[in-house]
């Protein structure tokens, strides 16, 4: 593969890239994308490293070469903006950091970046551990052998972590409505990705739209109530919401609506990456019991039998960190994302017109046998200390200036969750362990992940 890990070509133009065509007249592969985008990306792989998808409207290109991904995300990032797909997210998140554009995005990033540095995230380890311990206690109280939907359990855990770290409080009984509203809003957004329906249809009084509006109203009311209480108390606090309110007080800070949008972004997107990854980790550990035992042993060795994680100990969890990174290689939570070309460009000699959508897929690149030997095999040794991963052969958190601001938060949260839960439980598949990856907003097991949580009785 001549282009791999080389600079993107800027020389004479080449012939048009190959086109992946669909079987539906006029619509091309759009119906297939709506059903299973991963399958479409896999069909594009053999055609080349730059492939055009036959879809109506603006041109869409799938990039499979790390050098071309780097071109879009880093080297020529100023030319590539958010895509129209982000408009679906804006219905929930507003103009938060995930959906905004320059100059607003640049100002938001500058204000928020200090709060998400690794050294600042350390202060949340205790709250993260408390959320994981509360989940472990609920599993234990449910009795051995009870079947759990681990996908939903990890989503609830990650939501609990965000609530504790953002609002400085534990989830309460009434928060079941918040959890239900979060899931309803996520399902609605997921249903509109690659949708053939025009944008105005979201305003129709359909049952799905009505449920979404109720869910959004529930979330808005909860956020604005907490924000209002903080403002009335004139006390920002040391949590993530406190950081947003402190930014609001600066001369060029956030207004109340922007505080809401950033808080909603943290609530919705801030828990989804770690929840999806933890779900896949439990699936992989169940398929590889010796690795699960080694993760348990590492946590016990570092933190003792009480499994109370601390910031210093997290840095010594080499195997657990490698398991997380390998899980994100195999099952990247954001299995694809897009960029819109503001102006024309040339990639691998192919002309990219202004207005084109570039599809960047960690799923595609991170499972490429030219980059990763035996790519479908689970092997945490790929990320052992001292190993080097070539740039943009692995990019679960994106890359360039728009690298996910919450990457340290998510990694810390996942390390803590595994350190608490792995020593206390083995999770077993209820069937043969087969799963069907389903890509909606994030990559999840289709139909959930039913597993049995068995308390570990052996000494650590």
User: What's the CATH architecture for 19-455?
Assistant: Orthogonal Bundle (1.10)
3-state secondary structure the chain: CCCCCCCCCCCCCCCCCCEECCCECCCECHHHHHHCHHHHHHHHHHHCCEEEECCCCCCEEEECCHHHHHHHHHHCHHHEECCCCHHHHHHHHCCCCCCCCCCHHHHHHHHHHHHHCHHHHHHHHHHHHHHHHHHHHHHHHHCCCCEEEHHHHHHHHHHHHHHHHHHCCCCCHHHHHHHHHHHHHHHHHHHHCCCCCCHHHHHCCCHHHHHHHHHHHHHHHHHHHHHHHHHHHCCCCCCHHHHHHHHHCCCCCCCHHHHHHHHHHHHHHHHHHHHHHHHHHHHHHHHCHHHHHHHHHHHHHHHCCCCCCCHHHHCCCHHHHHHHHHHHHHCCCCCCEEEEECCCEEECCEEECCCCEEEECHHHHHCCCCCCCCCCCCCHHHHCCCCCCCCCCCCCCCCHHHCCCCHHHHHHHHHHHHHHHCCCEEEEECCCCCCCEEECCCEEECCCCEEEEEECCCCC
pLDDT digits (tens, 9 = 90+) for 85-143: 777 778 888 888 888 888 888 888 888 888 788 888 999 999 999 999 999 999 999 88
- CA gap 44, 64 in Å, rounded: 9
Q: Examine the pLDDT at 276 and tell me if it is beyond 80.
A: yes
Give me the chain's average pLDDT, please: 87
- Residues of the chain with pLDDT > 90, as a percent, come to 53
- CA gap 425, 453 in Å, rounded: 6
**Which pLDDT score is estimated for 173?**
46
- CA gap 92, 414 in Å, rounded: 25
- CA gap 246, 11 in Å, rounded: 49
Q: Examine the pLDDT at 304 and tell me if it is beyond 80.
A: yes
Q: What are phi and psi of 323, to 5 degrees?
A: -60, -45
**Which pLDDT score is estimated for 236?**
64
pLDDT band at 153 (very low <50, low <70, confident <90, very high): very high
- CA gap 425, 413 in Å, rounded: 18
Q: Examine the pLDDT at 42 and tell me if it is beyond 50.
A: yes
Please compute the mean of the pLDDT values over residues 359-382 and round it to a whole number.
97
**Which pLDDT score is estimated for 197?**
66
Q: Examine the pLDDT at 199 and tell me if it is beyond 80.
A: no
- Residues of the chain with pLDDT > 70, as a percent, come to 90
Q: Examine the pLDDT at 174 and tell me if it is beyond 60.
A: no
Q: Examine the pLDDT at 3 and tell me if it is beyond 50.
A: no
**Which pLDDT score is estimated for 6?**
42
pLDDT band at 16 (very low <50, low <70, confident <90, very high): confident
> Contact, 31 vs 192, CB < 8 A?
no
Q: Examine the pLDDT at 240 and tell me if it is beyond 90.
A: no
Please compute the mean of the pLDDT values over residues 308-331 and round it to a whole number.
96
Q: Examine the pLDDT at 77 and tell me if it is beyond 90.
A: yes
Neighbours of 450 (CB within 10 A): 14
**Which pLDDT score is estimated for 459?**
42
């Amino acid at each position: 593969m001549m282009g791999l890990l080389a600079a993107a070509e800027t020389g004479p133009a080449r012939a048009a890239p190959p086109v992946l065509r669909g079987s539906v007249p006029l619509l091309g592969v759009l119906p297939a994308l709506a059903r299973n985008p991963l399958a479409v990306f896999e069909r594009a792989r053999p055609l080349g490293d730059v492939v055009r998808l036959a879809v109506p409207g603006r041109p869409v290109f799938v990039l499979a070469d790390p050098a071309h991904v780097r071109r879009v995300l880093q080297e020529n990032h100023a030319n590539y903006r958010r895509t129209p797909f982000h408009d679906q997210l804006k219905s929930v998140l507003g103009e938060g950091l995930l959906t905004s554009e320059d100059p607003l995005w640049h100002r938001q990033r500058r204000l928020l970046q200090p709060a998400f540095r690794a050294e600042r995230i350390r202060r949340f380890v205790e709250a993260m551990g408390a959320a994981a311990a509360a989940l472990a206690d609920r599993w234990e109280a449910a009795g051995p052998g009870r079947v759990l939907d681990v996908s939903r359990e990890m989503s609830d855990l990650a939501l609990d972590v965000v609530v504790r770290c953002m609002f400085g409080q534990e989830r309460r009984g009434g928060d079941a409505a918040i959890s239900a509203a979060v899931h309803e809003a996520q399902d609605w957004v997921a249903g509109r990705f690659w949708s053939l329906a025009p944008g105005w249809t979201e305003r129709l009084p359909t049952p799905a739209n009505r449920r979404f509006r109720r869910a959004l109203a529930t979330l808005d009311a909860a956020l604005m109530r907490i924000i209002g209480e903080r403002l009335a108390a004139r006390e920002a606090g040391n949590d993530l919401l406190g950081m947003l309110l402190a930014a609001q007080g600066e001369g060029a800070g956030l207004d109340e609506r922007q505080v809401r949008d950033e808080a909603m972004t943290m609530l919705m997107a801030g828990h989804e990456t770690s929840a999806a990854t933890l779900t896949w980790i439990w699936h992989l550990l169940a398929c590889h019991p010796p690795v699960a035992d080694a993760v348990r042993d590492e946590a016990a060795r570092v933190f003792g039998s009480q499994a109370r994680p601390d910031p210093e100990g997290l840095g010594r969890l080499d195997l657990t960190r490698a398991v997380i990174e390998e899980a994100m290689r195999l099952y990247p939570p954001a299995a694809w994302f897009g960029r819109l070309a503001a102006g024309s460009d040339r990639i691998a000699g192919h002309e990219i017109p202004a207005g084109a959508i570039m599809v960047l897929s960690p799923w595609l690149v991170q499972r490429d046998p030219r980059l990763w030997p035996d790519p479908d095999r689970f092997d945490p040794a790929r990320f052992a200390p001292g190993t080097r991963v070539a740039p943009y052969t692995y990019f679960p958190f994106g890359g360039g200036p728009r690298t996910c601001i919450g990457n340290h938060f998510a990694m810390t949260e996942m390390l803590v969750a595994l350190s608490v839960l792995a020593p206390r439980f083995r999770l077993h598949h209820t069937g043969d362990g087969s799963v069907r990856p389903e890509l909606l907003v994030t990559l999840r097991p289709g139909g959930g992940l039913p597993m049995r949580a068995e308390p570990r009785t052996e000494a650590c």
